[in-house]
Amino acid sequence: MYIKEFADYLKYEKNCSIRTVDSYLSDLDLFDRFLKTQEQCLEIQTAGRDNIRNWVVSMMENGESSTSVNRRLSALRSFYRYLIKKGILSESPASLVQGPKNGKPLPHFVRQSQMDDILDNGQFGEGFKAVRDKAVISVFYEAGLRLAELIGLDIADLDFGQRTMRVTGKRDKQRIIPMGAELVTILEDYISLRNTTFPSAGQALFLSTSGERIPRHQVYRMVRDVLSRYSDSEKRSPHVLRHSFATSILNNGGDLGAVRDLLGHESLSTTQIYTHATFGELKNIYQQAHPRGDK
């Protein structure tokens, strides 16, 4: 079946890694097994377009992801290109076979009611760490920051008079984010306690309990712990809170272009994934609230 020769070609001419070669061979083996279940019982090099299309359909019906199906189809195309190069085939039967479109996974987010419960009723405790943790959660949810952006905030980035926050995003691009009255109060209280607890600290807004700029792993662990207590979200990370920020705005009638600017996205297409998330939320509400929604 020319499989061994193809493997040698990948190893010695294409300089592919052992892992890549094994992946290709595994995908070809799956197609070979599929062909053996067909009435004609063909070899890979004699299979036609219809056989390949049927394989794609079979994988999708069995619940394979579009990513896995397209990867296997790519391995098959590579094998046929090798056979054409060796003069064994004149054309590839996979050339006109299209794989399924890869869909972007919907972002995980915490429901607005759960975020309200966390910020209004959450038991953060007492002392510097408790006040800081609530301030961190508030900034993530009410300003939509990335983890690196939050860690990089300095006190000078906050303008309480104008109620704005200057955020430095990817490629050092800056954007101005408005702050609500409640967030301003939370941050003012935190900064007051921060300055009392660590009077000689630098300009970093959020500090560790040792008085230094808070590290990534501490923020990540803190967010995970808080969300695990109050949310049923499958994922519990700072980025989930960023997604929650965007989803809450859109669910309450916010403009997609404004959300793009607030998140610091370069393109509107990056932000559009949230329209799918909000539709999913509306669908859930409809199914739960409409008397015939679950029929």
The span from the CA of 249 to the CA of 178, in Å, is 13
Active-site residue, 36 included: no
* Residue from 81, 146, 163, 276 carrying the catalytic annotation: 146
178: left (phi over 0), alpha (psi -120 to 50) or beta: beta
Give the start-end residues of each E strand in 199-264: none
Helix (H, G, I), strand (E, B) or coil at 175: strand
- Segment holding 178, helix H or strand E: strand 174-178
Catalytic residue among 53, 71, 163, 239: 239
Q: Let me know if 101 is a catalytic residue.
A: no
Our measurement of the distance from residue 238's CA atom to the centroid of its chain's CA atoms, rounded to an integer in Å, reads 11
Rounded CA-CA distance 21/9 in Å is 10
Question: Residue 198: which H helix or E strand, with range?
Answer: none
Whether 239 is catalytic = yes
Altogether, the residues listed in the chain come to a count of 295
Question: Taking the CA of residue 17 as centre, how many other CA atoms within 13 Å lie in the half-sphere pointing to its CB?
Answer: 3
Catalytic residue among 236, 242, 243, 260: 242
Sequence-separated (6 or more) residues with CB below 8 Å from residue 278: 247, 250, 251
Which residue in 71, 81, 111, 265 is the catalytic one? 265
For the record, the structure tokens of 220 come out as 């990540």
Phi, psi (degrees; rounded to nearest 5) at 177: -120, 130
Over the Cα atoms of the chain, what is R_g? 27
Catalytic residue, chosen from 170, 173, 221, 229, is 170
Per the annotation, the verdict on 11 as an active-site residue is: no
Annotated catalytic, 146?
A: yes
| Residue 170 annotated among the catalytic residues of the structure | yes
Contact 84, 127 (CB under 8 A): no
Sheet holding 164-168, edge to edge: 158-159, 164-168, 174-178
79 CB burial (10 A radius; 0-12, 13-18, 19+): buried
Give the active site residues. 146, 170, 239, 242, 265, 274
